[in-house]
Amino acid sequence: MDMLKKLKSLFIVEEEGSISSSQTTEPVQNQENMQERVSPVSTPNEPMVPVVTQSGKNVDPKFIDILMKAIEENNLEGFDYLEFKSSLQSLAKMSMDDATRYQSAMAMAKTLGASPDKILQSANHYLAVLKKESDKFQQAVEGQKAKLDQDQQAGVKGLQQSIVTKEQQIVQLTKEIETEKASLAKMQADIQQGSAKITDTATRFAQAYNLVKKQITDDIGLITTHASKV
């Protein structure tokens, strides 16, 4: 069992039949690019398979790997808290209460040159390692939140400006439509009036034409009847 898996086994219990975190997430790289760790762990085609901690809570295996990797890289030499916890885990298989288990593990630690103070100091050392990881992660989270807010604000402002521009265009188009409606009404009135004038002119011309024509026609008829044989 490699060191990383051994560390994980101290804090988590993988459910039987579950897929290991290395199969569901990308392998943990170095401690750089913390920003990428804030991104979603899984995709729709690769559901996140949780692991179970010693307290029984389901957690994301990707972040367990990150924290265990940090502890591994900052592992202290000699018998320290991690070895003490491993002893506790072995004793947990026996039927004994917590007091007996912790006292037995400490007695074993003392035979290997450790002491309660050294165990506690190393435990606080690993807490500091975890705190450093947490601080980096929170910084990355805040960075992504700030970027998201910035992008969203830019998008909101862009849409607001687009709406204002289109509203102004609507107002301008409404004015143009009203102006053109008035022009259309005037044009239609002018056409109707012009058509009426043409009809009136044609009527008056026809009246004059018929008047003169009738007189000439009547005269032709009378001449033919009364004066053609004189």
* Distance, CA of 36 to chain centre: 17
Query: Is residue 21 within 8 Å of residue 49, measured between CB atoms?
Result: yes
Question: 3-state DSSP call for residue 53?
Answer: strand
pLDDT digit string (tens) for 36-53?
555 543 434 444 445 555
CA distances to 77, 129, 138, 142, 196 from 132, in Å: 20, 5, 10, 15, 94
Q: How high is the pLDDT of residue 133?
A: 95
Q: How high is the pLDDT of residue 196?
A: 96
Domain extents in the chain: 3-159
> Could you say which residues of the chain have pLDDT below 70?
1, 13-57
**Predicted TM-score (pTM) above 0.75:** no
